Structures are given as C-alpha cells and as structure tokens.
Amino acid sequence: DNIDSENYSHTRSFLRESSVILLFLLGLIFTIILLVLVGFYCRDSWKRGRIFKNRSTDADYLINGLYL
C-alpha cells in the first residue's frame, strides 16, 4: 500500500512539472509569434514611412466622439 501511494505521489508530481513546462513553452511560442507579427507590421509601416507619423491625417478621424 505504501508503494502504491509513493508511486501515485511521484506520478502526480511528474504531471504537475510537465504541465508547468508545457504552459511555459506555450507562452514562449505565443510571445515569439506575437513579436514576429509586430515586426512584420513595423517593417511594412517603415517601408511606407508611416511608423512615427500622426495617423490623424486620414480622411476621417474621431474627435470627442464625432467623425469629421
């Protein structure tokens, strides 16, 4: 009975460690994908020369809840 309980505790600990590693890897992959997407957006915006310009020069923009 003691061996079964020790084996169960070891399995539970292994599952907890595995889930922590899995969640860490999923978070890391998500962060890398997000950084790549932001990098592509900035690169495209940089080519068009609009990355640091004010975007209020568009045809219509919002001021105090009214479209002008």
- CA distances in angstroms from 49 to 38, 43, 46, 58, 65, listed in the order given: 16, 10, 5, 14, 28
State residue 50 phi and psi, 5-degree precision.
-120, 15
Provide the pLDDT for residue 31: 98
Residue of higher predicted confidence among 23 and 63: 23
Domain boundaries, the chain: 2-67
According to DSSP, residue 64 is labeled T
State residue 66 phi and psi, 5-degree precision.
-115, 135
Burial 3-29 (b: 16+ CB within 10 A, else e): eeeeeeeeeeeeeeeeeeeeeeeeeee
Tens-place pLDDT, residues 1-44: 556 666 767 778 878 888 999 999 999 999 999 999 999 888 87
